[in-house]
Chain A
């Protein structure tokens, strides 16, 4: 069965430092996609970055990069140069094709950026 695991319920980071949020996944489907979303206290889900299972290179979007290690089934999010506005809940999710098109979400990591 497909599953996403985020083992860090909460993380602290100093402003301007880098932080890594962990995500591991489990699937037997060869074709899948991995997503990271940010959810600030306002509740909206903000798309950050996407990695396809066949992508050869790790995805990057500005200060966000995804450390994709396929053999280990991990898809960690790296945020460089943390800002106070990065304080939020972060969710890792997996989507796969076929008949279903849903995303499976992890339980999230609450990131607090300290000045």
Chain B
């Protein structure tokens, strides 16, 4: 597609339920990232994919968070047993590749999924 697509755009879930957030990167972008933005704050890095591998998962806040990527394309971020502190906007971004390999070009964000845990 023309841009990074995320779905759903909004999700309200009950505490304790599992949620899946989806990201469709720009076609041909080998690098994919997930970030979290709490209300009124900056973006926090969660995880980075290069192809289908995740060389950096250091930002995942707990073992309730996991992510996968298949076909060097779509990625899913799963949050198990959601808690109220998980409420945030989850942003996905993609780029052509790692920095130093044209990765600066096209580092593009999606519009995010606003997750509300009640």
Contact = CB atoms under 8 A, between A and B. Distances in A.
Interface of A: 31, 33, 35, 37, 42-45, 47, 50, 52, 91, 93, 95-97, 99-108
A99 B107 contact: no
A108 B42 contact: yes
Given A45-B91, A45-B109, 15 more contacts: A31-B100, A33-B104, A43-B112, A43-B114, A44-B109, A50-B104, A97-B99, A101-B33, A102-B56, A102-B59, A103-B35, A103-B43, A103-B45, A105-B35, A106-B42
Interface string B36-62: 000001111100101000011011000
B98 A107 contact: no
B43 A43 contact: no
B66 to A, nearest CB: 17
B45 A104 contact: yes
B104 A52 contact: yes
Contacts of B42: 91, 105-108
A101 B59 contact: no
A101 B89 contact: no
B111 interface: yes
Contacts of A50: 104
Nearest to B49: A101
A101 B48 contact: yes
B50 A101 contact: yes
A107 B41 contact: yes
A102 B89 contact: no
Contact of A102 (B41, B45, B109): B45
Nearest to B91: A45
